Structure 1
Amino acid sequence: MTRIVATEPLGVAPTWAVLQRALFDALDEAWRVYEARYCEPDGSLRYTGSMQPRDGADDFYEAFTGWGVLYQLGGSAELLAVTKRHWEAVTEQMDRRGYIADEFELGYDWFHIGEQLTVFLSLCAGDPADESFHARAVRFAELYLPDSPTGNYDQANRMIRAPHNGGGGPRHGVCENWRSYGAELTNMQPYGLPLEDVPGVDSWEDLADPANADAMGKAMWDRLGQGDVAVNLAATSLAANAWLYGHDERFRAWALEYLDAWVARAAANGGIVPDNVGPAGEVGELHGGRWYGGNYGWTWPHGLHTIGMAVGIAVLNAALLSGDPGRLDFARSLLDQVYHLGVDRPVDDSDTPLRDRWAAELGEETATPTFLVPNRYGLGGWFDFQPPQVTFPVWLWQTSLSDADWKRITDLRERGGYDWRTVRDFRNKEDAGHEAPWIAYLQGDNPDYPEQILGVALSQVRRRLALIARDTGEVKDRDIHHWQRHNPVTTEALLQLTTGTPQVLFNGGLLPFRVSYADAETGRPGLPLDVASLVDTVEAGRTCLELVNLAGTGTRRVVVRAGGFGADRIDEVHYSGAETEYPGAPTAYTAPASRPVSRIAAVGASEVAVELPPGTRIRLDLRVTVRANPARHRTTTIEGTS
Structure 2
Amino acid sequence: MTFTEPDPMSRPTPEIVAATPSTAPPTWAVLQRRLFDDLDTAWRAFRDRYTDPRDGRLRFAGRIDDRDGADDFYEAFFNWPALYLLGGADDLLPAVKRHWEGVTAQLTELGLYKDEFERGYDWFHQGEALLMFYGICAADPADERFRRRALRFAEQYLPDSPAGNYDPETRIIRTPHNGSDGPRPGLGPQWDDGFAAHQPGMRPYGLPLEDVPGITRWDDLADPDLAVRMGHHMRDRLGRGDTAVNLAATALVTNAWLYDHDPRFAAWVLSYVDAWRERAAACGAMPDNVGPTGTVGEDHGGRWYGGHYGWSWPHGVHSVGAATLVGAISACLVSGGFDRLDLARRPLDQVWEQRRTGILSHQDTSRRHSWEPLLGEEAGNPINLLPTRVGVHGWFDPEPAQSAYWTWLWWFGMQPQDQARLDALRDAAGYDWSAVRAFRDKEEAGHEPPWLAYLSGVNPGYPEQAHRMALGQVRHRMALLAADSAGTEETDLHRWQRLNPVVTEVLTQLTTGAPQTLYNGGLHLARVRYDDLDRERPGLPPDVAALVDRLGAETTGLHLVNLSLTHTRRLRVRAGAFGEHLITTAQWESMAEEHVPDPRDYALPVPATRFDSVEVHANALHITLPPRCELHLRLGMRLNALRAAHQSATEQSRRTS
Among 39, 49, 60, the alignment partner of 2:51 is 39
Which residue pairs with 1:311 in the alignment? 324
Is 1:242–2:261 an aligned residue pair?
no
Q: How does 1:120-139 map to 2 (within 5 A)?
A: 120-139=133-152
Is 1:27–2:24 an aligned residue pair?
no
Task: Quote how far apart the aligned CAs of 1:357 are.
Answer: 0.8
Q: How does 1:2-21 map to 2 (within 5 A)?
A: 2-21=14-33
Task: Quote how far apart the aligned CAs of 1:85 are.
Answer: 0.5
Give the gaps of 5 or more residues in structure 1.
none
Which residue pairs with 1:255 in the alignment? 269
Q: Distance between the aligned counterparts of 1:578 and 1:52, measured in 2?
A: 67
Letter in 2 for 1:223: R
Letter in 1 for 2:544: V
Is 1:393–2:406 an aligned residue pair?
yes
* 2:86 and 2:530 in contact (8 A); partners too: yes
Residue by residue over 1:487-522, the C-alpha shift from the partner in whole angstroms, topping out at 9 and shown as x without a partner, is: 011110001000110001101111221011100101
Which residue pairs with 2:569 in the alignment? 556
Q: Structure 1 residues 324, 446: closer, same or farther in 2, change over 3 A?
A: same
Which residue pairs with 2:429 in the alignment? 416
Instruction: Name whichever of 336-345 and 206-215 sits farther off.
Output: 336-345
SS at match of 2:82: helix
Which residue pairs with 1:214 in the alignment? 228
* 1:319 and 1:327 in contact (8 A); partners too: yes
Instruction: Name whichever of 285-294 and 514-523 sits farther off.
Output: 285-294
Q: Distance between the aligned counterparts of 1:261 and 1:599, measured in 2?
A: 49
Q: Distance between the aligned counterparts of 1:576 and 1:176, measured in 2?
A: 64
Is 1:434–2:447 an aligned residue pair?
yes
Q: Distance between the aligned counterparts of 1:321 and 1:599, measured in 2?
A: 35
Residue by residue over 1:532-565, the C-alpha shift from the partner in whole angstroms, topping out at 9 and shown as x without a partner, is: 0011100011100100000011000011111241
SS at match of 1:566: coil
Task: Quote how far apart the aligned CAs of 1:168 are.
Answer: 0.7
Residue by residue over 1:581-624, the C-alpha shift from the partner in whole angstroms, topping out at 9 and shown as x without a partner, is: 65623344344441112111222211111100111001000011
Task: Quote how far apart the aligned CAs of 1:197 are.
Answer: 1.1
Is 1:190–2:190 an aligned residue pair?
no
Q: How does 1:488-637 map to 2 (within 5 A)?
A: 488-579=501-592, 584-637=597-650
Q: How does 1:92-131 map to 2 (within 5 A)?
A: 92-131=105-144
Residue by residue over 1:236-284, the C-alpha shift from the partner in whole angstroms, topping out at 9 and shown as x without a partner, is: 01111111111100001011111111111111111x1111111222111
Task: Quote how far apart the aligned CAs of 1:66 are.
Answer: 0.3
Residue by residue over 1:65-91, the C-alpha shift from the partner in whole angstroms, topping out at 9 and shown as x without a partner, is: 100000000011111111011001100
Q: How does 1:470-485 map to 2 (within 5 A)?
A: 470-485=483-498
Is 1:344–2:357 an aligned residue pair?
yes
Task: Quote how far apart the aligned CAs of 1:129 are.
Answer: 0.7
* 2:63 and 2:110 in contact (8 A); partners too: no
Residue by residue over 1:469-497, the C-alpha shift from the partner in whole angstroms, topping out at 9 and shown as x without a partner, is: 00134234341111111001111000100
Task: Quote how far apart the aligned CAs of 1:52 are.
Answer: 3.5
Q: Distance between the aligned counterparts of 1:388 and 1:238, measured in 2?
A: 27
Task: Quote how far apart the aligned CAs of 1:567 are.
Answer: 1.2
Q: Distance between the aligned counterparts of 2:31 and 2:620, measured in 1?
A: 27
Is 1:357–2:338 an aligned residue pair?
no
Is 1:328–2:341 an aligned residue pair?
yes
Q: Distance between the aligned counterparts of 1:417 and 1:480, measured in 2?
A: 36
Q: Distance between the aligned counterparts of 1:252 and 1:362, measured in 2?
A: 41
Which residue pairs with 2:7 in the alignment? none
Q: Structure 1 residues 591, 424: closer, same or farther in 2, change over 3 A?
A: closer
Task: Quote how far apart the aligned CAs of 1:579 are.
Answer: 4.0
SS at match of 1:172: coil
Among 432, 453, 462, the alignment partner of 2:466 is 453
SS at match of 1:383: strand
Count of residues paired in the alignment: 641
Residue by residue over 1:355-387, the C-alpha shift from the partner in whole angstroms, topping out at 9 and shown as x without a partner, is: 111101111212211211111011100111111
Give the gaps of 5 or more residues in structure 2.
1-12
Q: Distance between the aligned counterparts of 2:397 and 2:487, measured in 1?
A: 39
* 2:583 and 2:635 in contact (8 A); partners too: yes
Q: Distance between the aligned counterparts of 1:106 and 1:250, measured in 2?
A: 23
Letter in 2 for 1:503: Q
Letter in 1 for 2:119: L
Q: Structure 1 residues 213, 549: closer, same or farther in 2, change over 3 A?
A: same
Letter in 2 for 1:9: P
Letter in 1 for 2:196: G
Task: Quote how far apart the aligned CAs of 1:200 are.
Answer: 1.3
Which residue pairs with 1:464 in the alignment? 477
Q: Structure 1 residues 197, 640: closer, same or farther in 2, change over 3 A?
A: closer
Q: Distance between the aligned counterparts of 1:226 and 1:283, measured in 2?
A: 13
Q: Structure 1 residues 604, 205: closer, same or farther in 2, change over 3 A?
A: same
Letter in 2 for 1:544: G
SS at match of 1:417: coil
Task: Quote how far apart the aligned CAs of 1:60 are.
Answer: 0.4
- Per the normalisation by structure 2, the TM-score is 0.96
SS at match of 1:565: coil
Q: Distance between the aligned counterparts of 1:627 and 1:544, measured in 2?
A: 18
Residue by residue over 1:182-217, the C-alpha shift from the partner in whole angstroms, topping out at 9 and shown as x without a partner, is: 111111100000111111111111111111111111
Letter in 2 for 1:182: A
* 1:343 and 1:372 in contact (8 A); partners too: yes
Among 83, 95, 103, the alignment partner of 2:96 is 83
Among 284, 309, 312, the alignment partner of 1:299 is 312
SS at match of 2:631: strand
Q: Distance between the aligned counterparts of 1:610 and 1:390, measured in 2?
A: 34
Which residue pairs with 2:243 in the alignment? 229
Task: Quote how far apart the aligned CAs of 1:570 are.
Answer: 1.1
Task: Quote how far apart the aligned CAs of 1:46 are.
Answer: 0.2
Task: Quote how far apart the aligned CAs of 1:641 are.
Answer: 6.8
* 1:174 and 1:220 in contact (8 A); partners too: yes
Q: Distance between the aligned counterparts of 2:655 and 2:22, measured in 1?
A: 27
Is 1:268–2:288 an aligned residue pair?
no
Letter in 2 for 1:273: M
* 1:244 and 1:631 in contact (8 A); partners too: yes
Q: Distance between the aligned counterparts of 1:157 and 1:639, measured in 2?
A: 45
Letter in 1 for 2:446: G
Q: Distance between the aligned counterparts of 1:422 and 1:593, measured in 2?
A: 33
Letter in 2 for 1:171: R
Residue by residue over 1:90-112, the C-alpha shift from the partner in whole angstroms, topping out at 9 and shown as x without a partner, is: 00000111111211100000011
Task: Quote how far apart the aligned CAs of 1:325 are.
Answer: 0.3
Letter in 2 for 1:453: A
* 2:15 and 2:624 in contact (8 A); partners too: yes
Q: Structure 1 residues 9, 225: closer, same or farther in 2, change over 3 A?
A: same
* 2:360 and 2:379 in contact (8 A); partners too: yes
